[in-house]
């Protein structure tokens, strides 16, 4: 194969970054998994808060997408376990993805613990990928 014909390495990093998508809305999860996989990410979807937390604690992920309204334990609780007092630091960046709206001070509390806070309705899956590409 001619080197000029090789795929563009800008969009396909040599070590694939691993993303945990904690999202219980099946269709949204499907869209995110699709867009992230196409962009070269390795994706693990999870619908349950408690199971998501256990997965996150294995510290194998570069990025964790965390919805707030999820079953068993809420995203806020997952976040508190991962970033609250006494938690073990993980390498993963935590990005909150939610359509929930809350009072400014609660949002500020969440934002202070997470690395980013995104409203799902305000971005398309492709825009989400573009944003994650900028997170190092």
Partner 1 sequence: MDNLQKFVSQVRGRLVVILLINNLLLFVDWWVIEHLIGASTGKLIITLTVITVLSLTLLPWLSTKVITQPTKMIWQAILHIAPDAANVPAPNLKQHSIGRELVANLVSHVYQLASVVDTVEKTAARAHADLKTDFIANSLPLPLIVLDKNQNILFANKAMLDYVKLSASDAVGQSVYSVLDMSFGNEHTLDAWLVQAKANRPVDTKTWERVRLNLPNNQPVRQFDLAAYYNRSNPEGFETLLVFFDHTDSYSQDDQALSFVALAVHELRTPITLLRGYLEALEEDMQGSLTPETADFIHKMKVSAQSLTAFINNMLNVARIENDQLVLQLREDTWPNIVRTAIDDLSLRARVLDVEISANIAPDLPTVGVDRVSMYEVLLNLLDNAIKYSAKSPNKEVLISATVNAEGLVETTVQDAGVGIPAGILPNLFEKFYRSHRSKAQIGGTGLGLYLSKAIVEAHGGHIWVRSKEGIGSTFGFTIVPYAKLADEKKNGDNNDINRGVHGWIKNHSLYSR
| Binding positions for partner 1, rule: CB under 8 A | 25, 27-28, 31, 34-35, 69, 99-106, 108-109, 119-122, 124-126
Nearest to 92 by CA among 130, 123, 119, 66: 66
Q: What is the 3-state secondary structure (H, E, C) of 97-122?
A: EECCCCCHHHHHHHHHHCCEEEEHHH
Cβ distance to partner 1 smaller for residue 12 or 108: 108
CB of 40 to partner 1, least distance (A): 15
* Rounded least distance, CB 102 to partner 1, Å: 7
- 108-110-43-91 Cα dihedral, nearest 10 degrees: 100
92 versus 132: smaller Cβ distance to partner 1: 132
For partner 1, the closer of residues 55 and 100 by Cβ is 100
Q: How far apart are CA 85 and CA 115, in angstroms?
A: 16
Minimum distance of partner 1 from residue 65's CB (angstroms): 13
């Amino acid at each position: 194969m001619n080197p000029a014909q090789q795929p563009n390495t800008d969009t396909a990093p040599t070590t694939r970054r691993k993303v945990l998508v904690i999202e219980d809305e099946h269709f949204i999860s499907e869209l995110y998994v699709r867009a992230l996989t196409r962009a070269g990410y390795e994706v693990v979807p999870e619908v349950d808060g408690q199971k998501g937390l256990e997965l996150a604690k294995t510290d194998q992920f570069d990025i964790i997408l965390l919805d707030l309204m999820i079953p068993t334990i809420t995203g806020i609780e997952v976040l508190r376990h991962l970033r609250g007092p006494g938690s073990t630091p993980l390498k993963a960046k935590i990005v909150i993805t939610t359509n929930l709206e809350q009072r400014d001070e609660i949002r500020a509390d969440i934002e202070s613990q997470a690395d980013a806070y995104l409203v799902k309705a305000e971005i398309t899956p492709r825009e989400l990928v573009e944003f994650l590409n900028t997170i190092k």
